[in-house]
Amino acid sequence: MKGYIGTYEGVGSVGIYGFEMDVRSGEMSGGELVCEAPDAKFLALEDGVLAAPVKRGEQAGILLADVRRRSGSGSSEGEKEEVLTERVASCYVGMDGGRLFSANFHEGTVSVYRIEGLKAVLEKRILIGEGAGCHQVLFSGRRMLVPCMELDEIRVFERDGAFAEAGRIRLPEGCGPRHGVCDREEKRLFIVGQKNNRLYCFHMMEDGKFREAWNLGLLDGTEESGNEAAAIRLSADERFLYVSVRGADIVVVVSLEEGTGKVVQRKECGGRHPRDLVLAADGRFLITANRDSRDLVSFPVDQGSGRIGKECGRVRTGRAVCIALEE
């Protein structure tokens, strides 16, 4: 299995890196530069096209790269295009239905691009507010959801060409909603608060509104300063959630089997400052991206209990913050 690593800009960290994982053992190799793209801190991959934020001097925007010809884990720049329409690089990109969506934390915007081959054509820019902390774009039914960390709310927009605002989901003051995930039927929304290290579950009602069902502390009753929840992933069978917490440098495993959330494991991430994590090879392995130790680490996952086992692979790379896997 091939994958890509998005990184923060820094010495020895200049873009997107590649790696491979053995789907039988979880062992990894590679970690070399695939595409020079400063501040490519989030990735989206669809049909052989890799999307990432990029920074060029005083400008920033979106990069699209064709990675279908990449062989192995080594360097292979390939064909790529960039469009620079922002002042600072976005913190999130995602692709859906021939469009690319980016969330800009500092500018407080969501940008919608139409994808034409390797060209990203700006269709609409939604201004939520300077410093709103827009951190992700995700979809639930006919709605587009934007967690806004600094506003302690999730802005809801219609999922049509106009993207009109359709409501707001309020969270407790000081929560700092960062990332979320929806179940397959798009009836449940799970959101993690970066600032208070809590997990929230909302039910989507028939009228399109969201009602909080439960919330759960991730850190054993403590909210020590310096601990910040980051990524959240849902297992394919929708029985478990996995959340990375930097500072504590752990992955928290949450069981959903009793209709509510229950922490079943807090596992060391294998490095320092975990950001992204992904489930690979049909959920049999979990990979963490650790920014400050500059590595990816893989672990086996017991699919019966959801628990994470001992480290089985490691790759050194740039300041890793995001992982994208080829299907």
The total of other beta-carbon atoms located within 10 Å of residue 127's CB is: 12
Q: Tell me which of 70-74, 199-203, 251-255 is least confident.
A: 70-74
Provide the pLDDT for residue 221: 67
Contact residues for 6 (Cβ-Cβ < 8 A; gap 6+): 16, 40, 41, 42, 43, 52, 276, 320, 321, 322, 323, 324
**Of residues 277 and 70, which shows the higher confidence score?**
277
Nearest of 327, 326, 323 to residue 52 by alpha carbon: 323
**107-142: pLDDT as tens digits:** 999 999 999 989 999 999 999 999 999 999 999 888
Residues 6+ away with beta carbon under 8 Å from 11: none
Nearest 5°: the CA angle 130, 7, 118 is: 80
CB-based burial label for 155 (10 Å; 0-12, 13-18, 19+): buried
pLDDT at 209 over 90: no
Return the structure tokens found at 244: 């990375």
Per-residue pLDDT tens digits for 269-311: 999 999 999 999 899 999 999 999 999 999 999 999 999 999 9
- pLDDT, one tens digit per residue, over 3-34 is 999 999 999 999 999 999 999 999 999 999 99
Which of 293, 294, 305 has its CA nearest to residue 265?
305
Mean pLDDT of the chain: 93
Distance CA 4, CA 117 (A): 20
From the number of C-beta atoms within 10 Å of its C-beta (0-12, 13-18, 19+), residue 263 rates as: middle
What confidence tier does 75 reach under pLDDT thresholds 50, 70, 90? very low
% residues pLDDT > 90 (the chain): 86
DSSP label at 151?
A: G
pTM for this entry: 0.95
Q: Which of these, 48, 52, 18, lies nearest to 33 by C-alpha position?
A: 18
Q: For residue 77, what pLDDT is reported?
A: 53
What's phi and psi for 226, nearest 5 deg? 100, -10
The 3 state secondary structure assigned to 159-206 is CCCCCCEEEEEECCCCCCEEEEEECCCCCEEEEEECCCCEEEEEEECC
Looking at residue 290, its pLDDT comes to: 98
| Start-to-end Cα distance in the chain | 8
Q: Are the C-beta atoms of 313 and 27 separated by less than 8 Å?
A: yes
Neighbours of 74 (CB within 10 A): 12
The residue among 270, 284, 301, 296 whose CA lies nearest residue 18 is 296
Residues β-bridged to residue 109: 104, 127
Tokens of 204: 């989507």
Question: Residues with Cβ < 8 Å from 43, sequence gap 6 or more?
Answer: 4, 5, 6, 16, 50, 51, 52, 93, 322, 323, 324
